[in-house]
Structure 1
Amino acid sequence: MSKVRRTRLWRWRSNPLRRHADVVEAWIVLASWTGFALGGAVVGTVTARAADESLSQARAKRHSVEAVLVESTASSVTDTEGASDSAVWAKVRWTGSDRSIHTGRTMVDAGHKAGATVLVWTDRKGNLTKEPATATEAAVETGLVGTVAALAVGGLTLGAGRIARWRLDRKRIGQWGREWKQVGPQWQRNTT
C-alpha cells in the first residue's frame, strides 16, 4: 500500500498539470485568510476602542448623588419561580447641582424605610439614570464587542471566499464536462 504524500503550496508551484483555476483558487484562499486575520483584527480593535470610548464618556457624564426615599421599599420581591431580587423601584428625592429639588422613580436596594438615604445616579442635566459600567465591566464589554466584531468580519470574509471557491468549482466541473464530451468518444472507440 503506497502512502499519499501531501505537498504544501502545490497551487503556487510550477507544474504542467496546474490549471489557471488552481492559481485563482490559491489567490482566493490567500485573500480569504488574510482578510480573516488582518481584517478581523483591525475591525475588532477599532470596534473595541470605540466601545471603550463610548463607555468612558457615559461614566464621565454620570455622577452619584445622595437621595432620600419618599416611600418605603419592600424587603424583597419574589418572582413566580421563587427567585428573590434585592432591587426594587422606589420614589426618591434629591437636590440637583443647581440646588433645585427633584423627585423620580429609580431602582434602589430593597428593605429601606421612607426617609432613608440612598445613592442614585444622575446625568449632567440632573435626570435619573442607571449606574454606569465600572472599569472592569467596561473592559469585559469592550473585549466582547471587539471579539464579536472580529469574528463577524472574519466569518464574512471566509464565507465570501468559500462562495468564490464554490463558483470556481462549478466552473471547473462545467469545463471538465465540455472537455470530456470532446475526448470521451475517442476513448470509447479504442476500448470497444
Structure 2
Amino acid sequence: MRTVTGLWRWRRNPLRRGTDLIEAWVALAAVALLAVAVPAVGWFGGRAVDASMRQTIGRQHEQRHRTTAVVVRGSADHHVRAFDAESAREHDLGRRVIANWRAADGSTHTGTISAPLREPHPGDTFPIWADHRGRPVKGPMSTETAHLHAVLAGFGIAVLAAGLVECARRLVVRHLVRRRYERLDEAWAEAGPDWGRTGAGS
C-alpha cells in the first residue's frame, strides 16, 4: 500500500525526478511479483518435485518386492537403531539375526539382517524388502514422505524466488541512487565555480 501511495504522490509532484518515478514503479512491480509470481513459482516447483518423487516411488515398487524372512538363529550383533533419511526420523531396526528368504525369481537366500522383533526365535517370520537379486533393501518411499519432500521443495523454491526479486529490486535502486549522485555532481560542477558571485545568477 505504501508503494502505491508513493507512486500516486510522485505523479504530479514538481520535485519529482525521473529516477523517483522509476524507483516507485520498480517497487510496485516487486510487490506484484512477491504477491503473485513467487507463490505460483513455488507451487509449480512443488508440483514438479511431487511428480518426480511419485515416479521414483513407482520405480522403487517395480525394482523391489516384499517377501517373508524366516529366522534361523540369532546373531552376535547387538540391538540396532538407524536414522532414516527418507522419513526424517530414527527407526528401531530390531536385532540382527541370520534368516532365510526367497527372491522374486524363487531362489532362496540366507544372510544376516535386522529383524523387527524384540526376542527373535528360530522359525519366527517377519516381512522384508528385497531387490531383483534377492538382496535386502529398504522399502519404497511412502507417498506421505514424498509429499512432505515436495512441500518443502516448493517452499524453498518460493523463498529463493522471493530473494531473487528482492535482490533485483535492490540492484535497480542502487543503480538509480548512483545515477542521482552522478547528476548531482554534474550540476554542482557547473554551478559550483560561480556559487555566491555577484551577477552569476546565484
TM-score w.r.t. the length of structure 2 is 0.69
Structure 1 residue aligned with 2:186, among 147, 169, 178? 178
CA deviations over 1:117-147 (Å, ceiling 9, x no partner): 2222345675543233333333322111110
The AA in structure 2 aligned to 1:100 is: S
In structure 2, the gaps of 5 or more residues are 83-89
Q: Among 97, 102, 105, which residue is 1:98 paired with?
A: 105
The CA RMSD measured in Å over matched residues stands at 3.5
- How do 1:108-119 and structure 2 match up within 5 A? 108-109=115-116, 111=118, 112-113=120-121, 115-119=123-127
Structure having greater relative contact order (Cα 8 Å, sep ≥ 6): 1
Shift of 1:151: 0.6
1:76 pairs, out of 68, 79, 82, with 79
**Structure 1 gap segments, 5+ residues each:** 1-6
How many equivalent pairs are there? 181
The separation in 1 between residues aligned to 2:159 and 2:125, in whole angstroms, is 46
- State the TM-score, normalized to the length of structure 1: 0.72
After superposing the two structures, state which structure 1 stretch, 160-169 or 64-73, moved more.
64-73
For residues 168 and 125 of structure 1, the distance between their equivalents in structure 2, rounded to whole angstroms, comes to 65
Q: 1:143 aligns with which of 121, 144, 151?
A: 151
In the other structure, the counterpart of 2:50 is 52
Task: Give the whole-Å Cα distance in 2 for the aligned partners of 1:175 and 1:107.
Answer: 75
Contact 2:71 2:125 in 1 (8 A): yes
Identical counterparts, % of pairs: 33
Q: Does the 8 Å contact 2:72/2:100 carry over to 1?
A: yes
* Shift in Å, 1:114: 5.4
- Measure how far apart 1:43 and its partner are: 2.2
- For the 8 Å contact 1:104–1:128, the answer to whether it is kept is no
Mean Cα deviation higher: 60-69 or 42-51: 60-69
CA–CA separation in structure 2 for the residues paired with 1:31 and 1:125: 57
**The residue matched to 1:189 in structure 2 has which SS?**
coil
